[in-house]
Amino acid sequence: MDVNVSSYPSENMVSSAQINALPNLDGSLAYLSCTRSLNELQKSEKVELRNVIDGYRIIGPCFDVIDNFGPKIRTSSGYSLMYGRVFLLGKRVEALYAGRLSPITQVLLTCVSDKRLYNGGTLTAILQRDSGRLFTEGIYSTDEAMLGLRGLWNFRSDPREAIQSTSGISEDMDLSGQLSIGAEVYYGALHKSGGVSTGLRYTTLRSQSKTPITMTMTLNPLMGHFSATYANKATRDTSLCSRINFNLFSYQSDLTLGCELWQRDGEEITGVLKARIDSNMNTGLAWEGRMKKVLINFGVSMDLANHKSPFGNVGLEIRYMS
């Protein structure tokens, strides 16, 4: 059982205390400070549920945000965020710093101090650049002296380069779907081992008269792991999804099916029911929503292939924000 209490003493700082009672007694203190105002925080009875519950989302186009094909509207440089967490009994300290160097470039530094880790801790530095169509990320970690590079390319025409029609909207600007391809490569100098993986995603950007869909495929050729997913928004409040994992070397595979059903009271969303089942008959059922002034998350997992003891874990989360 975990109890988490957070406070909002100023518009730029949040503090949090957590106590873990079961199975072992532990706890932590955390602080977050940001140069930008956090006034967007809302009360639990007013917050939009789609903003706090994970579910199917229609992704926006991945080019620079512009207004009527005019100047860019990008986040200014100079913003920063700092986070720290101290575990009371585990003798572990975590810290994070994120700083925006330019409108399209930011740096992240994370560090962990724990005597159970190699050399008593680890430091990770990440440099990210997002120009809209192209996203690149370089990473270095003292854990295994690892170097890595990631890239993501969005195959879409930039609307600023398109010719506008008389209505002010580009004639050749297709917002029906977007294809993205990415890859990563990394190498650990300490153990002289490396890896590479690649993936692609196709998603519709707006429904129009079609059913919104998202398809992904990832491949790790060294490990022989292949994964593919397909999700669609069948109706306004119903989404269906499937995922298959396959290993090219062992021929092991598994299939998972899932769905989510959003509940409404008129036009207001009150909750969502989620369910999943895989080829091994492992199932899960969860409900997330609002009751009175609190947010509830209840879930249960079951193994239908185990007739003697099918029930697994049961979880309950209650959140209240004032």
What average pLDDT values come out for the chain (322 residues) when binned by 10 residues? 86 90 84 85 84 84 48 61 90 94 93 87 94 92 92 71 42 64 93 92 72 93 95 93 95 96 91 95 95 93 90 91 84
88-94, long-range: CB < 8 A, 24+ apart: 88/26, 88/27, 88/28, 88/29, 89/25, 89/26, 89/27, 90/26, 90/114, 91/115
pLDDT for 174 equals: 47
Nearest Cα to Cα of residue 101 among 131, 127, 139: 127
CA distance linking residue 196 with residue 209, whole number of Å: 39
Classify 97 in phi/psi space as left (phi over 0), alpha (psi -120 to 50) or beta. beta
Q: Is the separation of the CB atoms in 198 and 186 below 8 Å?
A: no
pLDDT at 163: 38
**Contact (CB, 8 A) for 236 and 215:** no
Among residues 128, 131, 130, 111, the alpha carbon closest in space to that of 120 is found at 111
Is residue 84 within 8 A of residue 75, CB to CB? The reply is: no
pLDDT value for 10: 85
Q: How far is CA 58 from CA 109, 128, 178, 217, in A?
A: 31, 24, 11, 18
The predicted structure's pLDDT at residue 8: 84
Q: Report the pLDDT value the prediction gives residue 64, as an integer from 0 to 100.
A: 56
- Alpha-helical (H) ranges within the chain are 49-52
Closest to 151 measured CA to CA, from 102, 186, 176: 186
Q: What angle do CA 172, 205, 162 make, to 5 degrees?
A: 20
Q: Which residues contact 111 (CB under 8 A, 6 or more apart)?
A: 94, 95, 121, 122, 123, 124
pLDDT at position 15 = 92
Q: Which residue has the tokens 């140069």?
A: 35
